[in-house]
Structure 1
Amino acid sequence: MRRAQMAGRYERVPERQITVGFEGRQAVALETDSGARETTTWNDLDPAARKLLFRRTPQGLEPLALWLNEDGLPRDGHGWHHSFETANKRIDALGLKDFSCTPHMLRHSLALKWYSVAKLVQARQLGHLSQEETRDFREQFGDHWHLVQTMLGHRQVETTKNVYLEPFRNLEVELLLRHADGFPVERFMADAFAAHPRVRTDPLAVR
């Protein structure tokens, strides 16, 4: 970003808009061509329009976008797919055949990993409670399914269970809880899901 500022790259972005403030979390104030202040809700700004939002700083214009390309310009929403395609080609060139990854696969990896972590954490927190007390706790604060649902942003927990965490549906995870202290979660997951059609294991990690 600093290199882009020094090169004056942001000043050359056509149709850029300068933000001058925010109206809570629902709207943003933009500077008009006449220098006036105009408020627009975030819902009225599509992804393409949001890429054109900048703010003034002592170092110069700065994009509001979180993810930037190497040239400092806001990254396209589908840009990660190009990054993964390039990475997959590099992996293939190294001789790791039939192994690739996509951005969406990382969501599944996150779901599987945090489901295991949540089970371990809850076992430590609730291990001293009776079954009735444990049930009351989960009714008030939710269980591990709902934790992963929240992290993934799913509207229905059934999506989390039946799609993202389907490999766990028939797995006796309670066996894992008996060894909660120092349990090798990554090794366990690699072994448990080695042959599952929806799980792809890192070939380097299992060598």
Structure 2
Amino acid sequence: MRRAQAAGRYERLSGARMVLAVRGTGSVILEGAHGGVERRRWNDIGPRTRLRLLRRTPLGLEPVALWLNEDGLPRDGRGWEHTFDVANERIAMLGSAGFTCTAHMLRHSCALRWYAIGRLVHACRLGHLTVVQRQDFREQFGDTWHLVQTMLGHLRVETTKAVYLEPFRTLDVEMLLAHADGFAIEMFMAEVFTGHSRVRTDPLAGVR
């Protein structure tokens, strides 16, 4: 970003809009296209416009976008496909033929890993409680589903259950808890989900 500032790329960004203030997570104040100011709801700002949002700082103009390319300009959402294509080619060159990954696979894998960890932690920390006490704990703090929901940023826990944790539907929970005593989570994930189309585990876990 600093190199982009020095090169003046943000000043030359076509169609740039200046962010003047942010009103929580609901709305943003922009400089009007023809002067004045304009208040917009974040949900009403499309992806192309978001890539052109800038803000003024003591060090110069900065993109509002989180993910940037190497040239400092905001990264298009589809740009991740190219990143993973290059990474998959590098993995193949290292001899791991047949192992490929996408950003969505990593999201599924993250969900499954943290669901497994959450269940094991719940079993270890809450196993001594009665059924009523465990129910009370879940009502106050949520359960493992809500842990994964928070980490993935889902609005509804049903999305987490129905989509990202779909591979666990066929997994006996007792099988999961049976690995709680000293079993490496990496090995467990590799054994159970190595053939799942949406999940990527460590391809070397079984040979270490």
CA–CA separation in structure 2 for the residues paired with 1:86 and 1:149? 30
TM-score, length-scaled by structure 1:
0.86
Counterpart of 2:56 in structure 1 is: 56
| Structure 1 residues 165-176: aligned runs within 5 Å | 165-169=165-169, 170-171=171-172, 172-176=175-179
Corresponding position: 1:111 with 2:114? no
Moved more, 83-92 or 163-172: 163-172
In structure 2, the partner of 1:155 is 156
Structure 2 counterpart SS, 1:13: coil
Alpha-carbon contact 2:114-2:148 (below 8 Å) kept: yes
Q: Percent identity between the aligned chains?
A: 58
Give the C-alpha shift of residue 62 in structure 1. Answer: 0.6
1:165 to partner: Cα distance: 2.7
In structure 2, what is the equivalent of residue 29 of structure 1?
29
Structure 2 unaligned blocks of 5 or more? none
Conservation of the 8 A alpha-carbon contact between 2:106 and 2:200: no
Tell me how large the CA RMSD over aligned residues is. 2.2
Residues 36-75 of structure 1 correspond to what in structure 2 (within 5 A)?
36-75=36-75
- Counterpart of 1:145? 145
Could you tell me which residue of structure 1 aligns to residue 86 of structure 2? 86
The size of the alignment, in residue pairs, is 203
8 Å contact 1:21–1:30 — kept in the other structure?
yes
TM-score (norm 2): 0.86
SS in 1 for 2:20: strand
Q: Which amino acid aligns with 1:175?
A: A
Q: Once the 2 structures are TM-superposed, how far is the Cα of residue 10 of structure 1 from its aligned partner? A: 0.6
> Is 1:193 equivalent to 2:203 in the alignment?
no
Query: Residue type of the partner of 2:65?
Result: A
CA distance in 2, matches of 1:33, 1:201: 48
Deviation digits for residues 33-67 of structure 1, max 9, x if unmatched? 56522222212210100111101112111100000
Give the Cα separation in 2 of the matches to 1:89 and 1:142. 41
Residues 30 and 38 of structure 1 are in contact (CA less than 8 Å); yes or no, is this contact kept in structure 2? yes
1:201 and 1:33 map into 2 onto residues whose CA distance is 48
SS in 1 for 2:179: helix
Tell whether the 8 Å contact from 1:154 to 1:160 is kept in structure 2 after alignment.
no
- 1:101 deviation in Å? 0.2
Of 186-195 and 57-66, deviating more is 186-195
Q: Structure 1 residues 134, 119: closer, same or farther in 2, change over 3 A?
A: same
* SS of the residue 1:176 aligns to: coil
CA distance 1:56–1:161, shift in 2 (3 Å): closer
2:6 corresponds to 1:6: yes
**4+ residue runs over 6 A deviation:** none
Q: Secondary structure at the match of 2:11?
A: helix
Tell me if structure 1 keeps the 8 A contact 2:186–2:205.
no
Matches within 5 A, 1:94-105: 94-105=94-105
Once the two structures are TM-superposed, the CA of residue 187 in structure 1 deviates from its matched residue by 1.9
The whole-number CA distance in structure 2 between the counterparts of 1:205 and 1:93 is 19
